[in-house]
Amino acid sequence: MASTKQLKGQVAIVTGADSGIGKAVAIALGAAGATVIINHVSCDENADAVVAHIKKAGGKAYAYHADVSREDDVKAMFAFTIKKYKTVDILVNNAGLQKDALLIDMSLDDWNTVIGVNLTGQFLCSREAAKEFIRRGVVKNRSAAAGKIICMSSVHEVIPWAGHVNYAASKGGVGMFMKSIAQELAPHKIRVMGIGPGAIQTPINEDAWETPQALNKLLKLIPYNRIGQPEDIGKLAVWLASDEADYITGTTIFIDGGMTLYPGFADNG
Ligand code: NAD
């Protein structure tokens, strides 16, 4: 990967950027020269801290509060960004949550909330981004593409997950949503890609790594034998958004230490 500022002059919106993977992606995009909108829905303090981190490193960032599952909020976030920064070049659909329960115990509210944020949120943000990318088109010396959309998926795009059916359904949906809009938007020179993280050490899965016992159990699912770090995802996001990845569209890159390699079969099944 080149160490120059590959995203210089570009504007990125990262959803759910005040924590975990979104925070690391925002910091990495900022370090690569992009101006980053730190979307957040919870406390302002964490988002302000990410903005301060990026600015301290010489980058540009702005915190913006919006619930990605609400159409009005998403439209307002894009309108604000385009007014303030003239355009948007990169969208990272990262916001996501879990509300776990067995199927027979799962409430409709918990189903709708997870689908609403993890899947509908990606639809609402991608639609606004695509409108702006199509309006503006390719700008010479900025990027070879008219725009880039990165959809945060999961290994659960392909690995079924009992007790988490709303989450797995949302990520399976993200996979087909990403491919379908990639097909639709490619003629406009817009690239759309998925990132499928395995186990990354963030607040969303704290109970899977907070004790040595839990971590040992988790590591049995990871052939590469380490838990992922948010920075692993940040580096991939920068590369995917850059012109170095200009021929990549419509595919999910799994970044999981081998979690999708069916580790249970390593000893002859
Ligand atoms: P996290 O809980 O640290 O971060 C999730 C972020 O999404 C938070 O900033 C949260 O406030 C935000 N968010 C939730 N609802 C929102 C809404 N309605 N509007 C805007 N923002 C909202 O968890 P994380 O691990 O950093 O997760 C980030 C993404 O990565 C999620 O999409 C998650 O499904 C995915 N992912 C995580 C892992 C992992 O192991 N950590 C693995 C695979 C996929």
Q: Is 11 in the pocket of ligand 1 (CB under 6 A)?
A: no
54 half-sphere exposure, CB direction, 13 A CA radius: 28
**Residue 269 placed within a domain:** no
What is the number of structural domains in the chain? 1
Is 0.75 topped by the overall pTM?
A: yes
Tell me: the pLDDT tens digits for 24-72? 999 999 999 999 999 999 989 999 999 999 999 999 999 999 999 999 9
Q: How many angstroms is it from 94 CA to the middle of ligand 1?
A: 6
27: domain CATH number is 3.40.50.720
91/121 Cα distance (integer angstroms): 12
The residue whose C-alpha atom lies closest to atom 2 belonging to ligand 1 is 204
Q: Is residue 3 situated within a structural domain?
A: no
Q: How many CA atoms lie within 13 A of 36 on its CB side?
A: 36
Is residue 263 domain-resident?
no
Separation between Cα atoms, residue 119 and residue 195, nearest integer Å? 14
CA of 187 to the centre of ligand 1 (A): 31
Residue 68 forms part of a structural domain: yes
* Predicted local distance difference test score (pLDDT) of residue 268: 78
Decide: helix, strand or coil at residue 11.
strand
pLDDT at 220 over 90: yes
* 2 assigned to some structural domain: no
The rounded Å distance from CA 118 to ligand 1 centre is: 9
Q: Is residue 264 part of a domain?
A: no
Looking at residue 3, its pLDDT comes to 52
Domain that holds residue 211: 11-257
pLDDT of residue 1: 46
Note whether residue 106 is domain-resident: yes
Q: Which residues are catalytic?
A: 167
Tell me if 25 CB under 6 Å of ligand 1: no
129 in a structural domain:
yes
